[in-house]
Amino acid sequence: MPTDDALRDGALVEKVRAAALQVLGNVLRWRVAARRWPRLADLVAAVEHAVAAGDTAALDIAAANLEAATPFRNQQINQPPEARVGAPDELRERINRLQHDLGRHTDEEDADAGSRGDR
Cα radius of gyration (the chain):
16
> What element of type H or E holds 33?
strand 32-33
- For residues 103 and 39, what is the distance between their CA atoms, to the nearest angstrom? 25
Three-class DSSP category at 24: helix
Terminal-residue alpha carbon distance, the chain? 27
Please name the residue ranges forming H helices in the chain: 4-7, 10-29, 37-53, 56-68, 89-116
Over residues 17-53, the pLDDT tens digits come to: 999 999 999 999 999 999 999 999 999 999 999 999 9
Give residue limits of the domains in the chain.
Answer: 10-96
Over residues 60-81, the pLDDT tens digits come to: 999 999 999 998 765 666 666 7
List Cβ neighbours of 35 (8 Å cut-off, separation of 6 or more).
Answer: 82
Over residues 84-111, the pLDDT tens digits come to: 899 999 999 999 999 999 987 654 555 4
